[in-house]
Amino acid sequence: MTPSEFQDRLLVWFDKHGRHDLPWQNPASPYKVWVSEVMLQQTQVATVIPYFNAFIARFPDIQSLAEASVDTVLQYWAGLGYYARGRNLHKCAQIIAERGGSFPDSLDELLDLPGIGRSTAGAILSIAFKKSHPILDGNVKRVLTRFAGISEWPGSTEAGKSLWKLSTLYTPVHRVEDYTQAIMDLGATICTRGKPNCTVCPLVSACRAHIENKTATIPAPKPARKQPVKQVYFLCLTTNENSILLEQRPSAGIWGGLWSLPEFDTIESAHSWCMIRHIDIINEYTLPEVRHTFSHYHLDFTPLHFQTNNPNHFVMEANRMLWYKPEQFSSLALAAPIKRLLHQIYKD
């Protein structure tokens, strides 16, 4: 199948069956496309839509995002995961605002910004600026891997090189914004990871995976690697005033910049921490262990619920520790597992 035929078949399908009413499409501004593409990294459209709508309502343009605090930005990102994306979004906005506020429209300028890689830059340039640039997100990788019958894991270096060549070959000059959305839509709705609906795919007649009956094995899964496990204790220190001690995590690392609970390696170290601060524990119990899985390891955390009637009302600027009441939680950027844990504590 020639590149021209590949493009034509995909565009004819898109005109009839593609998604044309996504919130970042009407109208498609560089700012909206950028925010949506960053949110869509590692996250499905259905999950992103409510977050995107709330984010745009609060930060309608580059300037409002740049002027907001990172705490406020992360509050609107909480629950989406991969929080470095939210921090980088904020950094980008500040850089663009400092440079005059105009969104960059060249590949080099976009790649110079934090959190924008080649595929995200290509999506911004093609969808928002109608410039012919290839993309290679997860959906596009799956379509091209199956179409070309590539047996290697798409994340490998060699497969990546081949896929970028294919994506560049098939990306058109005309209607590039529709083509880019079309190939993403095809991967998201037809050429899905499990049970692809090949009977309605516009590319099926030339798809190597379909012809060779390999759609179940292509793309190849990531080579198995045992996930390491980290075990910690989270201190849920509550007072008779119904407050709980929360700590803002460092900007680097998991849940960077979000509010969480003080973390300890052992129960004994949590007790020692309280003793040093003259916090008397009048009641304590341990909640069941919870496993939260990140992309590269498992976090097993055990909540320690300590109750005190003589809270030390300190403010530790270095570690950003403060007491909060339940009615204040909604104004904080909390990691989803921590938010669930706090709900459990105050529900009980």
- 219-248 residue pLDDT tens: 999 888 888 999 999 999 999 888 999 999
Strands (E), the chain: 229-239, 244-248, 259-260, 263-264, 283-286, 290-293, 298-308, 321-324
Q: How confident is the model over 27-42, as pLDDT tens digits?
A: 889 999 999 999 998 8
**Three-state DSSP class for residue 216:** coil
C-alpha angle 139-222-220 in degrees, rounded to nearest 5: 65
Pick out the chain residues at pLDDT < 70: 313-319, 348
pLDDT at 267: 94
Q: Do 82 and 42 form a contact (C-beta atoms < 8 A)?
A: yes
247 an active-site residue? Answer: no
Predicted pLDDT of residue 348? 59
In this prediction, residue 252 carries a pLDDT of 78
Annotated catalytic residue within 37, 67, 109, 241: 37
Hey, how many other C-beta atoms are within 10 angstroms of the C-beta on 204? 20
Amino acid, single-letter form, for residue 302: T
Q: What is the structure's pLDDT at 313?
A: 67
pLDDT at site 281: 92
| Closest to 85 (Cα-Cα) out of 237, 223, 257, 217 | 257
Decide: 305 and 236 in contact? Cβ < 8 Å. yes
CB 216 within 8 A of CB 298: no
C-alpha to C-alpha distance for 195 and 292, rounded to whole angstroms: 28
CB of 299 within 8 A of CB of 293?
Answer: yes
| Three-state SS at 308 | strand
CB 46 within 8 A of CB 22: no
In the prediction, which pLDDT does 318 show? 57
250-290 per-position pLDDT tens digit: 887 888 889 999 999 999 999 999 998 888 999 999 999 99
pLDDT value, residue 97? 95
* CB contact set of 277 (below 8 Å; sequence gap of 6+): 312, 314
